[in-house]
Amino acid sequence: MNDDFLFANDTGEEDEVLSIGSWKVIIVDDEPEVHAVTKLALNDFIFQDKKLEFISAYSGAEGKKVISENPDAAIVLLDVVMETDDAGLQVAHYIREEANNQKIRIILRTGQPGQAPERQVILNYDINDYKSKTELTAQKLFTVIMSSLRAYRDIVSLDNSRQGLTKIIEASANIFSIHSMDQFIDGVMQQLTSIIGCGNEEAMYITDTLMVNCADIKHKDSLTIIAAQGEFENSLGKDIKEVVDEELQAAFQEAIAGKSIVYREDYLVAYCYSRFSNNSILYVSGLPKHVTDSEKTLIELFAQNVQIAYENVQLQLELEDTQRELVYRLSEALENRSNETGNHSRRVALISSVLANGYGLTDKESDLICSAAPLHDVGKISIPDSILNKPDKLLNDEWATMQTHAEKGAKILEGSNRSVIQAGAIIAQDHHENWDGSGYPVGKSGDDIHIYGRIVAMADVYDALRHNRCYKKAWSKDETLEFIKSESGKKFDPKLVQDLLSCADTIEEIIEQYPER
């Protein structure tokens, strides 16, 4: 075959990367003429708006290298006899067994059919077609490439769908585990970006705060942004009319009216409905210009889970807020009984959270301490008013009675399965223990005192000193800090003392924000 002159200007064609995208076809053959003729015959081949990109290898060893470097190749046209009689068969084995590439379509071509009988090769090797070079005309080559590309496309589509469904399952699990509205929109966008492969940073999650049913736009007063990301992050609580243009508002209305997902050039607006709470709209910008049908299916599945996950966050926050409010109301009832004028427990909770963060505890532990700290004096419910509100120094037996409130508080709270109540029991028990062992009710010392108890003890003392009590006048900030420093290593954990000194201004802001009532 002496057609080299026909392809004199054909050098480097295999290196061309087409801007419209391409299907990679690897040619593994030791005859340069076969490479040239194959490229010529398929020069104008187009499938789904993409041309062919040819990559050449001239031996079995070179073929293995090229295949490992191009795992996204769609087809390999593979000669059987090259440097050895079975070099091509070894490459086929390498593709499936060593490279573990099950997607690429293997078309075996041979000039010596008797060397590798078709039946034996089909049975023993995972190839997709077997052709003799003498029978492979230009038309037949076109046909076999077209059918192989269709098969490759379908395999890739199925695999992408499988991966997408896997991501949706993982995304749902991740989003359902979120219990903070601040984290919710980040979680949604992170997972959606993973599913559709877009680098989006601008997103809003919008809900109808007035109507459960978004279908009737005529009776809709507003769409309010309740979570946002990117350039919209400062738009929380605003009506969309104040934030987005008329074109995007029209897309919102179209999605609501059709209860569907509306796609535009580079964004989507998805209607998310629910039986349990306000229906919602998810807006996402930064989409790739072409979103495939399989990606749209995945987005629809994901959007259905977004609303449920959002409800999960709302429900969790409502439960936490209800629990926190009950704790505050209980603690405020005790404050009123002891002639304290309110907000002491709230301040102790917030100061404890600041100290916990400064000490290096996790955000979860800090939140837990903040929620449980108001329960520190729950045991005082058992102390008589005559002792609790006595303005003079307590007598020895009265002081002994007062000291029982720690253990009684722990007794009231023990046995619960709720983490806040469990933490409250620990705090009630340990918040009057001293670092040097001189405290009560047990006389624990040092690290034997639970860190929750140590933190709340300091917050409680600081706030009590800064406010009027029936037995004392309020101290100044400087007087209080001097006392705290003097008790380092005695009453208080020395590290906590340093932490408090470093964040004293923040603590004073809390005191100013929640004054006595």
- CATH value at residue 302: 3.30.450.40
Residue 391 pLDDT class (50, 70, 90 cuts):
confident
Query: Which of 309, 330, 347 is the last residue before a domain boundary?
Result: 309
| Of 64, 380, 444, 491, catalytic | 380
361 with 296, same domain: the answer is no
Residue 168 pLDDT class (50, 70, 90 cuts):
low
- Per-residue pLDDT, averaged over 94-110, amounts to 91
89 with 188, same domain: the answer is no
Number of domains observed in the structure of the chain: 3
Q: Which two tokens stand for residue 12?
A: 């480097």
129 with 230, same domain: the answer is no
301 with 246, same domain: the answer is yes
33 with 81, same domain: the answer is yes
Does residue 245 belong to any structural domain of this protein? yes
Is 485 annotated as catalytic? no
Query: Which of 264, 292, 309 is the last residue before a domain boundary?
Result: 309
Note the Cα 106 to chain centre separation in Å: 40
Q: How far is 56 from 32, CA to CA, in rounded Å?
A: 9
State yes or no: pLDDT of 382 exceeds 80: yes
Does residue 321 belong to any structural domain of this protein? no
Indicate if the alpha-carbon torsion angle 506, 512, 514, 515 is positive or negative.
Answer: positive
- Per-residue pLDDT, averaged over 130-149, amounts to 87
* pLDDT number for residue 115: 58
282 with 357, same domain: the answer is no
Does residue 289 belong to any structural domain of this protein? yes
489 with 359, same domain: the answer is yes
pLDDT tens-digit series, residues 315-371 = 776 777 777 777 777 777 776 665 555 688 889 999 999 999 999 999 889 999 999
Q: How far is 175 from 308, CA to CA, in rounded Å?
A: 10
213 with 108, same domain: the answer is no
- Per-residue pLDDT, averaged over 278-302, amounts to 72
Q: How far is 449 from 12, CA to CA, in rounded Å?
A: 76
Task: For residue 502, give the CATH number of its domain.
Answer: 1.10.3210.10
Residue with tokens 């959007």: 303
Task: For residue 148, give the CATH number of its domain.
Answer: 3.40.50.2300
Q: Which two tokens stand for residue 357?
A: 């963060």
Q: How far is 265 from 253, CA to CA, in rounded Å?
A: 17
135 with 244, same domain: the answer is no
Does residue 314 belong to any structural domain of this protein? no
Report the range of poorest mean pLDDT among 18-27, 204-213, 367-376, 426-435.
204-213
Residue 25 pLDDT class (50, 70, 90 cuts):
very high
Does residue 330 belong to any structural domain of this protein? no
Does residue 400 belong to any structural domain of this protein? yes
Residue 245 pLDDT class (50, 70, 90 cuts):
confident
219 with 282, same domain: the answer is yes
Range of the domain at 229: 177-309
The amino acid that residue 495 corresponds to is K
Residue 196 pLDDT class (50, 70, 90 cuts):
low
Does residue 442 belong to any structural domain of this protein? yes
Could you tell me if 194 and 327 are in contact, meaning their C-beta atoms sit under 8 angstroms apart?
no
293 with 376, same domain: the answer is no
Is the model more confident about 115 or about 400? 400
Report the range of poorest mean pLDDT among 206-215, 377-386, 477-486.
206-215
137 with 8, same domain: the answer is yes
Of 367, 371, 398, 369, residue with least CA distance to 385: 398
The pairing of beta strand 105-110 with beta strand 75-79:
parallel
Query: Which of 125, 157, 189 is the last residue before a domain boundary?
Result: 157
Does residue 479 belong to any structural domain of this protein? yes
Of 474, 466, 462, residue with least CA distance to 499: 462
